Structures are given as C-alpha cells and as structure tokens.
A and B are shown apart, each in its own frame.
Chain A
Amino acid sequence: MPSSSGYFRTHYDQDLRFIDTRTQRYCLWLLLAWLAIYPFLATEMLLDLANQVLLASVGAIALMLLTGFAGQVSLGHAGLLAAGAFTAGILFKEFAAPVWVTLPASAAIGAVLGLLFGLPSLRLRGLYLAVSTLALHFIVAYLGGEYEAKRGFSSGIVIDPPVLFGWVLDSAQAWYFVLLAASAGTLLLAANLLRSKTGRAWRAIHDREAVAEALGVNVPAHKLLAFVISSSLTAMAGCLFAYFRGFVSVEAFTLFLSIQYVAMVIVGGMGSLLGALLGAAFVVLFPYGIEWAMAILPIPTRWSGMVFAVDYAAFGLVMIAFLLFEPQGLVGIWRRMQNYFLLWPFKQQLMRK
C-alpha cells in the first residue's frame, strides 16, 4: 500500500507484485526467520496459542473471501468446520483412512456443501442469505449428532495423530509448522485469487451486482465459486482441527463459533486479508487476555469463578465497540497508525475508503 509514502507505481506489473520495496523484502525475511525460530523460543502455552491462531486464520481467510470480498454473508461457518471435521472423523473411524485421504475428502465435502450453501445465494441476499446458512448449520449439526449417537461415540470421536511421510504429528512444534504452512498456503492462494480475474469479479459483485453483470461478469457462477472455494478451505480447516485436537464432536461446533468467525472478519476489518489474520489473532487471544486481566485486577470474588461469563460479556462489548466506533476494524487502526508515521510531521487526512 504505497499510497502516501512517496513511492509510486509506474507500471501495471507493479500492481501485481506482492513485494514493492527493498525494506519490505527485508522485513519479510526477518518475519520468516522469526516464524522459523518461534517454536523453539516459546513456552508450550504460547506455542499452543500460536497454533490456535494459525488454525483460526485459515477459517478466517476463507470467510473473508466470501464475506469481505464477494459480499456474501454466512452464519454457517461452524457448520462447515463441523462438516470437515466429521468427514475426517468418519473416514478415520470407518475406514482407518490416513490424512492424505481425509484432507482432500474434507475439501471435496466442503465444496459440495459450498455449492448447496451457495444455491440460495442466487435468489437471496443479505439477511435472508445469512438465515439460510444458519439453517444449514443446524442441519449439519443434527447429522453429525445422529452419527455420534448411532455409532455410540457418546463422548466424541477420538482421532489418532496423523502420519505425514512416516513422521507422526504429535508434538506442538510439528503442528506449528504444519499449521503455519496451511495458513501461509491459504493466504497465498487467497491473495493470488484476489489479484486474478476471479477476485476482481467478486469485488464487482460486492460493490454492485447489476454493474458487475453489465461488465460481463457471470454473477451466478462467481457467487457459487466464492462459496465453493471458501467452503472447501473451511472444511479443510475443520479437518485440521480434528487432527490437531485429536477428537471430533458436535458440541465443539456451536453457533457461537460461527459468530466468532464473523467477529474475526468484523474486528479485523472487512475486505482485507491482513484483517482476517488480525481478527483471528484478536478473537483467539481475547479470552486469554480477559483471564489474565481478571487475575491481576481487583474484581468481585463472586465473578472470579465465572471467567467465561465475564469473557462473554466483554466479547459482546468489544464487538459493539468495533461496530460503532471502528467499522474498518483493526486494519483501519493499523492503517491510520501507518499513515501517521509516513506523513509525520504533517497532519494526516482521514482515510475513508
């Protein structure tokens, strides 16, 4: 984003580049180096948190593609994660399938469900679409529950750690690298999609459907494509979740999880991949922050046993605050900070998209 830095693009090719300047390249190398040594420095707890953030970021990027870019609302994200996780769980239990079978299978199931989730979008928009995805969430949860009950897995399906190229994935460090790769892969895929024709078509649909159609964009096909891609990515995230946690059960995929993912997109900042990452980190780390704050702040002892309720209330408050005061989310704050330093000592203008 070289908007106000004194750096200007002089060629169309430059619009497509990921890395513009040398500083960016150095920063990227530094980041990669840091990411590579992080698991060896962090405590187990911090490593687990990093893993959770990385896992959530896959789902958040997928939802960002759908909602932030293609403009289709979905409240069924948890249902899709559940679909992916159950695909892995069922294939593992019934056929003892290895991970290189279950992961593509989850993606395929996700794609099929995405097509189904997407069909109403051809007729519905906004609110009604959100509601239809909500309905699908309940149906997926019901099917999963029936499977668990019928097969007698009353406390969930336990899955063994996956084996990749003869290497058993059971340490947090190993998972860190797998999840990092998954997250980076999703990010690259998303970024690439967005700078292609498909991405531009999605943005056109997002801004105004009629105009997109007039520009020659095949609106129904692109809408469905958005659903299919987003859903299969999400289902893969669900599959990874199943292996990462070592179990699958319907209760892990509540409506609140869907809301959390939507919150990631909102809090992070609509229409920005960086936003998806920031949102994922924020939403995952938030409860730990609250817990930590409650441990050091003087609060009524009655509440100390109810961390979750406090957390719940605070989460609601934070969501309201973002919706009211910072609709552009964390990314908005970040951009303003960046501009402040870029333009210093001059006063910054308000950046409104």
Chain B
Amino acid sequence: MQTLINILVLASIYALISCGYVLIYRVSRVLNLAHGEFMMLGAYGLLATASSFGAHPFAAVGVASVMALLVGVAIYFVLMRHMTGESVLAAVLCTIAVGILLRGLITLTWGAQQHYPMEQLGWVNSSISVFGDARISAASLGLIIATAVCYSGLFLFLRYTRWGIQMRAAGQNPLLAAQRGIRLNGIYALAWGLATFTGGIAGMLIACDSGLQTTIVTIGLKAFPATLVGGLDSLLGALVGSLIIGTAEVLLINYVDPLLSDVAPFFILLVMLIFRPWGLFGTREEIDRV
C-alpha cells in the first residue's frame, strides 16, 4: 500500500513538471530545457514572498504563483518571441542559456544553503495516515491534489474555453491560426506563462515537502524522460509517462537496486526513442533538422 502511495506521489511530481514541457512544446514546438530552472525560480519566489508576507501564508503562495506566471510571459516577450523562425536547435539552446542565466542569478541572490519555506509560512508538514497503515505527508498530498487540479483545469481550458481552443489551433497550424485572426504572440505568451506557473507550483510544493536548495533543478531534468515517454505534445501522455517512470523508479528502489532508479528513466526513454520516438500518445510528425 505504501508503495502505491509512493508511486502516486513521485508520478504526480513528474506529471506536474511535465505538463510545462508539454504546454510549450505543443503550442510552439519549442522544447524548454530551462523548465527545471523555472521550477526552482517558483520555489525561491515562494521563499521571497514567505519572508515578506509571513503572516498570510495563502497570500504568499498566491503572489508567488502569479509571479511565476508573469515570469513565463516576460521570458516569452523578451526572448523567445525573437526565436520564432530560427532552427529548433537554436530555440532549444536559447532555453538552455536562459536556464544557465537563471541558475547563476538565483545562486547570487539566495546562496547555497538549505531553506525551508514551509516553516517560514508557519505551516507544519504533518503526516496523514490513509488506507490503514500507509501514510503520506501533507505537502505530498497537496502535490497530488495540485496535479489533479492542474490537469483537469488544463483539460477543460483547452477543450472548452476560447483561449484554449485558440491555443490548440496555434499548435496545429500557426499560419492558418494567424490568418483566422488568432493573436499568436498572445497565445504563445499564455502557454509560456501557464508552463512556468505549473512548474512553479511544482517547485513550491517540492520545496515545502523536502526543503529548498539549488539542487532542485535536477528534478526538472528527471521529469523530462516522463514527458517524452508519454509523447511531447500530449497532456494525457505526460500523465501516463509520469506514471510509468514513477512506477519503474519506486519498484526498482524497492525490489532491485536503488542506484538503478537514477538511470532507469533515461534507459526507458532510450528504448522508447528507438521504437516509438513520438511517444505513447504523441502525434507522429516530421521533425525539423538542425
């Protein structure tokens, strides 16, 4: 039972991070390798707001989330907008460069020590018992709920709202979408904003659960195989992929060798890339050259 809970927690960590990769890729065909850094920025943002709004934890979380959203929009307008029309590799490298920049700036601002935003907010990460003897921490439960809310929200948003439909249209055929009067820049910026928003939330919750340090950024990279296994342009795929990778990791830790859990995601990814590169639920497409 505990194993099941562990899988669920790990999978929702990955899933919440993955949906950022998917949103951006699906809409603008750019792979955002700075996603781990955006996650980290969200978490440090919470740290900053927690120290200034210490008395109102919910306000701190709210402000930090809005900040995460705005960062994405800003990055798009300042930077990624200029990368349209460039080769895919250039755009990807640009995101890597943004990531390096952010990492440097964050280290300069907050230093290397461990922080505990949960304590700063005045909350206690209590342990809740579920299904008999299995237990889960409050922050992990929050993570699962946040993942569920984000995914169902995104699903409804993409299916029923005006902006969501426009977003899908822009992803399918930007030229036609633009000719139908869809403002591509706005849509792309929204996608970036949503991606950094969900990433930021993931970062905040992980930081709440197990403390915050600059190493959090590697978790973003670990979620990446999950996204690809599911298919880079499918939200459902990201969910399933995260579940597969999460399950594989937890089972390896439990029954084989914990060390393997570090490489297994990449191994699964490699197998997937050889046999079905577009992922379980992704669309098969002509992929750009350098």
Contacts and interface: CB of A to CB of B under 8 A. Distances in A.
Interface stretch (A135-143, A187-195, A240-248): A135-143
Given A135-B267, A327-B86, A259 B96 contact: yes
Interface stretch (B3-11, B97-105, B175-183): B97-105
B218 to A, nearest CB: 9
Contact of A127 (B31, B79, B221): B31
A126 B88 contact: yes
Q: Is the interface of B mostly helix, strand, loop or mixed?
A: helix
Interface stretch (A3-11, A116-124, A214-222): A116-124
A136 B270 CA distance: 8
Contacts of B270: 120, 132, 135-136, 139
Chain B interface size, under 10 / 10 to 19 / 20 to 34 / 35 or more: 35 or more
B93 A262 contact: yes
A97 interface: no
Nearest to B108: A309
A135 B88 contact: no
Contacts, number: 136
Contacts of A303: 108
Given A128-B277, A135-B266, A135-B267, A323 B94 contact: yes
A234 interface: no
A126 B108 contact: no
Contact of A320 (B97, B259, B287): B97
A139 B260 CA distance: 10
Given A123-B274, A127-B92, A310-B108, A142 B262 contact: yes
Interface string A242-259: 000000000000011001
A67 B89 CA distance: 10
Given A130-B92, A131-B228, A303-B108, A120 B274 contact: yes
Interface string A192-219: 0000000000000010110000000000
B290 A206 contact: yes
B100 A73 contact: no
B98 A135 contact: no
A207 to B, nearest CB: 9
Interface string A235-278: 00000000000000000000110010011001000100000000
A306 interface: yes
A25 interface: no
Contacts of A120: 270, 273-274, 277
A316 B98 contact: yes
Interface string B276-290: 010000000001111
A48 B26 CA distance: 47
A307 to B, nearest CB: 11
Contact of B290 (A71, A310, A313, A323): A71
A132 B268 CA distance: 11
Contacts of A263: 93
B263 interface: yes
B101 A320 contact: yes
A319 interface: yes
Interface string A294-329: 000000000100100111111111011001100100
B262 A306 contact: no
Given A132-B273, A309-B104, A327-B86, A319 B96 contact: yes
Interface of A: 67, 71-73, 119-120, 123-128, 130-132, 134-136, 138-139, 142, 146, 206, 208-209, 255-256, 259, 262-263, 266, 270, 303, 306, 309-317, 319-320, 323-324, 327
6 contacts: A72-B290, A126-B88, A128-B287, A142-B259, A313-B101, A319-B100
Interface of B: 31, 79, 82-83, 86, 88-90, 92-94, 96-105, 107-108, 221, 224-225, 228, 259, 262-263, 266-267, 269-270, 273-274, 277, 287-290
